[in-house]
């Protein structure tokens, strides 16, 4: 069992009784170490909900979630916090930077909880700022940064610890095309050079093409799971719609065979 | 972990300067108000006690009039000097028996005039009233019996009429006669009730009777007892004697009353204690208002703080680390506010008690109580919402609205 994470029949229901809403209706998903996955799907299909559960920010209503073979659903709050601290990096859909706090301090926050010294924190945060193209912006507070800059600070904060698994919920949602591609290049190099497993939600097919694998959510379920052609993903690949459908079929077939 | 939580807490305080400032302000106001008011109230009580004891200890005051209808105005007869003589002869172990006649008069000297109270008495008055002579001398027997125009003046009279110049041997005019100053009383200062003790002109009683009052009445008698334990005995004997001398039958009530300075002391300090309690009640309200202010600030910022806690948890902070940070933040703010409040209260109390002329004492109890109360509110309302947030799933904390 070499899978980094493994979800089986994970459901998530919000609310109780009449007002309850099932956001995830039985998600099965395996992510191998070193994979780079793009999650797509219509708004409200449960992408963020699934990311939050994988990121240990929320707990599933039912189902199993294994992280490196360990049952996450059985862990207590503190164990989940330590899992987040040591293995995960999370880029939120809404940035979630600390208000009135400098970019540098925001980025150093996870290092602080890891107990890194001030010198190490400084070195790593400077490197992370450079990676997201914000060298020299460290002392600006969140309020002084544009939406795109804030997003890049959020990315820097998620990658500064070199996490095992990087979860990014629409990391390019607020960026222009050029910047978006830069961020994708960054994610890819983190994936390829540092072996960080990346799970990314995106609405843009262009961005999804950087990933090795695309997953589509519909109505709280994994609708399709496609291996992207192993092209030289240096730029924008051209790929016909038919190919995709074809591959979807193959993967779906695999899933069916497994059941 | 303690140190890093402390650093985070300090960063948090600096980041939310306005909120921190308002929290501290709420605590400062609460603490300072309570401490100042209670300290001043206690000072006033103390001042009254001092004042009464400066009246003279072991002192009984006999005044005409029934207790019920007040001192005068009910036609009861005044005393005579014979009553004074009888008391001195028939009751043993008395330190002083001083008759008293008070008249409000304008006194004039060196083209200045001053309205004051002219008191006629004898040399026993100095003992009974705990007065001592600063300059000059008391009356001689001859002056007393002859009713000569001599007087001993209080320091206020001296200041108002003569300024700094020499007064012994000078004359002051009272009504239509001139009166030679033979002595100056040592100052007793202003009582906390605002009454100037030194605003007094003292003359032999026969002088006042003949030249000012125009009759032989004595409006009150001060009796000073040698031993405090004798007070009750003397009081009983005095009552009996005065009833005999005033020819009261068994059925009639006393037409005079005897006041015990200890009783006055108790009554007066009772009054100021009520005042202190009243002040404390007002102060408690300000403490409460300060507390509500803190609550408000904390509750208003709950959303922001909950989201911040969500971020910290999401990034990998443990619940206890977050709690420690916010606890430290709350304790630092509350402690700072409490200390500033105490310093402020101490300064204000010292200044105000000077202005009001009451003694200042540092009251450990009230400092402690108000500090603990406001700091408690600060910690409670800073910490409890934080604890609630830290127990949420990170995502719920992040979503808080
Ligand atoms: N805390 C919550 N309480 C109630 N309903 C929720 C909650 N969180 C999510 N939902 C619901 O679950 C569904 C899935 O939400 P989710 O955020 O996962 O969608 P998404 O796929 O990320 O959409 P988008 O692309 O717009 O971000 C939505 O219908 C949403 O209303
Ligand atoms: Mg989403």
Do B201 and B283 lie in one domain? The reply is no
Check residue B374 and give its pLDDT.
78
DSSP state of A106: H
* Most confident among A69-83, A218-232, B160-174 (mean pLDDT): A69-83
Of the listed ranges A107-116, A226-235, B137-146, B270-279, the one predicted with least confidence? A226-235
Tokens 């959020």 sit at which residue?
A154
Do B270 and B386 lie in one domain? The reply is yes
> For an interface test with B, which of A75, A86, A93, A96 has the most B Cβ atoms less than 10 Å from its Cβ?
A96
Do B209 and B140 lie in one domain? The reply is yes
For A202-249, the DSSP string reads -S-HHHHTTSSEEEEEETTEEEEEEEPP---TTS-----HHHHHHHHH
Nearest CA to ligand 1 atom 12: A23
Check residue A254 and give its pLDDT.
36
Q: Which two tokens stand for residue A186?
A: 């960054």
A248 within domain boundaries: no
Nearest to B139 by CA among B148, B129, B130, B128: B148
Angle at B313 between CA B308 and CA B317, to 5 degrees: 115
B62 within domain boundaries: no
Check residue B13 and give its pLDDT.
87
Q: Where are the alpha helices (DSSP H) in A27-176?
A: 47-54, 77-87, 103-113, 118-131, 147-159
Chain B within 8 Å of A173 (Cβ-Cβ)? no
A258 within domain boundaries: no
Q: What is the dihedral of CA A120, A123, A128, A131, to 10 degrees?
A: -150
Q: Where are the alpha helices (DSSP H) in B219-318?
A: 231-245, 261-300, 302-315
How many interchain CB pairs under 8 A, A with B?
A: 69
A74 within domain boundaries: yes
Q: Are B109 and B201 in contact (CB under 8 A)?
A: no
Residue B349: enclosing H or E segment and its boundaries?
helix B319-356
Q: Is the Cα torsion angle B9, B14, B18, B24 positive or negative in sign? A: positive
Nearest-CA distance A230 → chain B (Å)? 33
List for chain A the helix, strand, coil content (%; round to 5).
Answer: 40, 25, 35
Average pLDDT, chain A: 87
Question: What are the beta bridge partners of residue B97?
Answer: B223
Residues B114-145 as b/e (b if ≥16 CB within 10 A, e otherwise) read bebebbbbbbbbbbbbebeeebbebbeeebbe
Nearest to B221 by CA among B102, B138, B66, B90: B102
The domain boundary, picked from B171, B200, B225, lies at: B225
Check residue A125 and give its pLDDT.
96
**Is residue A222 lining ligand 1, measured as CB closer than 6 Å?**
no
**What does R_g of chain B's alpha carbons equal in angstroms?**
33
In this structure, which residues have their CB less than 5 angstroms from ion ligand 2? A 48
Expressed in angstroms and rounded, the spacing between residue A48 Cα and the centre of ligand 2 is 4
**Is residue A48 lining ligand 1, measured as CB closer than 6 Å?**
yes
Q: Which two tokens stand for residue A13?
A: 């229901």
Pairing of the two strands B200-204 and B112-121: parallel
Check residue B178 and give its pLDDT.
92
Nearest to B184 by CA among B252, B135, B131: B135
Pairing of the two strands B94-109 and B220-225: antiparallel
Expressed in angstroms and rounded, the spacing between residue B384 Cα and the centre of ligand 1 is 29
CA distance linking residue A227 with residue A213, whole number of Å: 4
ipTM of the complex: 0.86
Residues A240-254 as b/e (b if ≥16 CB within 10 A, e otherwise) read eeeebeebbeebeee
Beta strands in B76-219 (DSSP E): 94-109, 112-121, 133-136, 150-153, 171-174, 177-185, 200-204
Q: Where are the alpha helices (DSSP H) in B167-260?
A: 205-207, 231-245
**Is residue A12 lining ligand 1, measured as CB closer than 6 Å?**
no
**Is residue A43 lining ligand 1, measured as CB closer than 6 Å?**
yes
**pTM assigned to the model:** 0.70
CA distance linking residue B359 with residue B346, whole number of Å: 13
Q: Which chain A residues are closer than 8 Å to B11 by Cβ? A: 101, 105
Do B220 and B271 lie in one domain? The reply is no
Nearest to B39 by CA among B272, B350, B288, B343: B350
* Interchain pair B316, A57: CB under 8 A: no
B88 within domain boundaries: no
Do B100 and B209 lie in one domain? The reply is yes
Q: Say which of B304, B307, B395 has its CB closest to residue A58.
A: B395
The domain tally of chain B equals 2
* Interchain pair B307, A112: CB under 8 A: no
Q: Are B88 and B100 in contact (CB under 8 A)?
A: no
Characterise B280 by phi-psi region: left (phi > 0), alpha (psi -120 to 50), beta (else). Answer: alpha
Domain that holds residue A53: 5-14+23-227
Do B103 and B165 lie in one domain? The reply is yes
Q: Are B162 and B141 in contact (CB under 8 A)?
A: no
Check residue A238 and give its pLDDT.
44
CA distance linking residue B5 with residue B325, whole number of Å: 5
Q: Are A62 and A138 in contact (CB under 8 A)?
A: no
CA distance linking residue B134 with residue B122, whole number of Å: 18
* Interchain pair A78, B318: CB under 8 A: yes
A86 within domain boundaries: yes
A107 within domain boundaries: yes
Counting ligands in written order, the one closest to the CA of A203 is: 1
Q: Are B83 and B110 in contact (CB under 8 A)?
A: no
A109 within domain boundaries: yes
Question: What are the beta bridge partners of residue B172?
Answer: B179
Neighbours of A130 (CB within 10 A): 12
Domain that holds residue B45: 2-51+266-399
CATH of the domain at A164: 3.40.50.300
CA distance linking residue B285 with residue A107, whole number of Å: 45
Nearest-CA distance A182 → chain B (Å)? 24
Check residue A246 and give its pLDDT.
39
A103 within domain boundaries: yes
Nearest to A62 by CA among A7, A11, A8, A6: A11
Check residue A25 and give its pLDDT.
95
What ligand 1 atom has the least distance to the C-alpha of A93? 27
Q: Which two tokens stand for residue A29?
A: 């998903």
Do B374 and B323 lie in one domain? The reply is yes
* Interchain pair B316, A113: CB under 8 A: yes
DSSP state of B211: I
Check residue B317 and give its pLDDT.
93
Nearest CA to ligand 1 atom 25: A43
Chain B within 8 Å of A15 (Cβ-Cβ)? no
Do B156 and B271 lie in one domain? The reply is no
Q: At what angle do helices B319-356 and B17-55 cross, to 10 degrees?
A: 40
Q: Are A161 and A112 in contact (CB under 8 A)?
A: no
Of the listed ranges A173-177, A243-247, B257-261, B349-353, the one predicted with least confidence? A243-247
CA distance linking residue A89 with residue A220, whole number of Å: 23
Q: What are phi and psi of B376, to 5 degrees?
A: -60, -45
Q: Where are the alpha helices (DSSP H) in B71-195?
A: 81-90, 124-128, 141-146, 155-162
**Is residue A23 lining ligand 1, measured as CB closer than 6 Å?**
yes
Q: Say which of A57, A96, A97 has its CB closest to residue B393.
A: A57
Check residue A84 and give its pLDDT.
95
DSSP state of A71: E
Check residue B71 and give its pLDDT.
52
A47 within domain boundaries: yes
What ligand 1 atom has the least distance to the C-alpha of A46? 18
Check residue A207 and give its pLDDT.
92
Chain B within 8 Å of A100 (Cβ-Cβ)? yes
A235: pLDDT confidence band, cut at 50, 70 and 90? very low
Of the listed ranges A43-57, A227-241, B50-64, the one predicted with least confidence? A227-241
The domain tally of chain A equals 1
For residue B397, CA distances in Å to B15, B310, B318, B389 come to 20, 5, 14, 6
CA neighbours closer than 13 Å in the CB half-sphere of residue B240 = 8
Q: What are phi and psi of A149, to 5 degrees?
A: -65, -40
Those residues of chain B that have pLDDT short of 70 are 53-57, 67-74, 190-194
| SS3 assignment, position A114 | coil
- The more confident residue out of B175 and A124 is A124
Do B116 and B209 lie in one domain? The reply is yes
């Amino acid at each position: 069992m070499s899978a980094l994470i493994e979800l089986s029949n994970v459901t998530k229901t919000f609310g109780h009784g009449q007002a309850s809403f099932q956001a995830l209706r039985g998600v099965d998903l395996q992510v191998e170490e070193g994979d780079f996955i793009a999650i797509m799907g219509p708004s409200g299909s449960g992408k963020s909900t699934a990311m939050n559960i994988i990121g240990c920010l929320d707990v599933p209503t039912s189902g199993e979630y294994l992280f490196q073979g360990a049952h996450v659903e059985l862990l207590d709050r503190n164990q989940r916090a330590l899992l987040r601290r040591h293995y995960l990096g999370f880029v939120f859909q809404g940035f979630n930077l600390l208000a009135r706090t400098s970019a540098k301090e925001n980025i150093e926050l996870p290092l602080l909880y890891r107990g890194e010294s001030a010198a190490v924190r400084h070195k790593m945060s400077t490197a992370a700022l450079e990676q997201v193209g914000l060298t020299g912006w460290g002392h600006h507070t969140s309020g002084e940064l544009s939406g795109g800059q804030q997003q890049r600070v959020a990315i820097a904060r998620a990658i500064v610890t070199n996490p095992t698994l990087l979860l990014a919920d629409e990391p390019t949602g607020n960026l222009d095309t050029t910047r978006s591609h830069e961020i994708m290049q960054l994610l890819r190099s983190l994936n390829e050079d540092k072996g960080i497993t990346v799970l990314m939600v995106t609405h843009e097919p262009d961005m999804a093409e950087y990933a090795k694998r695309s997953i589509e959510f519909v109505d709280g379920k994994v609708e399709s799971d496609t291996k992207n052609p192993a092209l030289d993903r240096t730029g924008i690949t051209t790929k016909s719609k038919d190919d995709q459908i074809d591959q979807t079929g193959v993967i779906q077939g695999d899933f069916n065979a497994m059941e | 972990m303690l140190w890093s939580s402390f650093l985070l807490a300090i960063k948090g305080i600096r980041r939310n300067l306005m909120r921190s400032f308002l929290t501290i302000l709420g605590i400062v106001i609460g603490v300072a108000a309570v401490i100042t008011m209670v300290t001043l109230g206690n000072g006033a009580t103390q001042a009254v006690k001092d004042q009464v004891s400066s009246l003279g200890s072991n002192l009984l005051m006999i005044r005409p009039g029934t207790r019920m209808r007040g001192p005068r105005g009910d036609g009861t007869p005044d005393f005579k000097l014979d009553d004074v003589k009888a008391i001195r002869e028939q009751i043993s172990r008395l330190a002083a028996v001083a008759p008293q006649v008070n008249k409000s008069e304008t006194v004039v000297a060196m083209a200045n005039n001053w309205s004051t109270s002219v008191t006629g008495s004898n040399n026993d008055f100095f003992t009974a009233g705990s007065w001592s002579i600063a300059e000059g001398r008391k009356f001689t027997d001859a002056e007393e019996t002859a009713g000569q125009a001599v007087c001993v003046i209080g320091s206020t009279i001296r200041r108002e009429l003569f300024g700094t110049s020499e007064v012994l041997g000078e004359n002051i005019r009272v009504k239509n006669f001139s009166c030679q100053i033979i002595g100056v009383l040592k100052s007793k200062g202003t009582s906390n009730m605002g009454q100037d003790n030194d605003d007094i002109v003292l003359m032999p009683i026969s002088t006042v009777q003949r030249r000012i009052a125009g009759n032989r009445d004595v409006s009150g008698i001060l009796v000073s007892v040698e031993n405090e334990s004798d007070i009750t005995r003397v009081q009983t004997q005095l009552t009996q004697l005065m009833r005999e001398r005033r020819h009261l039958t068994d059925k009639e009530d006393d037409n005079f009353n005897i006041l015990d300075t200890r009783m006055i002391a108790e009554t007066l300090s009772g009054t100021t204690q009520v005042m202190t309690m009243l002040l404390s009640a007002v102060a408690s309200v300000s403490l409460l208002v300060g507390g509500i202010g803190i609550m408000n600030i904390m509750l208003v910022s709950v959303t922001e703080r909950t989201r911040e806690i969500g971020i910290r948890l999401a990034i990998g902070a443990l619940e206890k680390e977050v709690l420690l940070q916010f606890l430290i933040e709350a304790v630092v703010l509350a402690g700072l506010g409490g200390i500033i409040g105490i310093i402020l209260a101490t300064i204000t109390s010292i200044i105000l008690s000077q202005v009001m002329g009451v003694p200042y004492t540092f009251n450990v109890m009230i400092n402690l109580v108000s500090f603990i109360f406001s700091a408690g509110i600060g910690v409670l309302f800073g910490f409890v919402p934080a604890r609630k947030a830290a127990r949420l799933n990170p995502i719920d904390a992040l979503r808080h609205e």
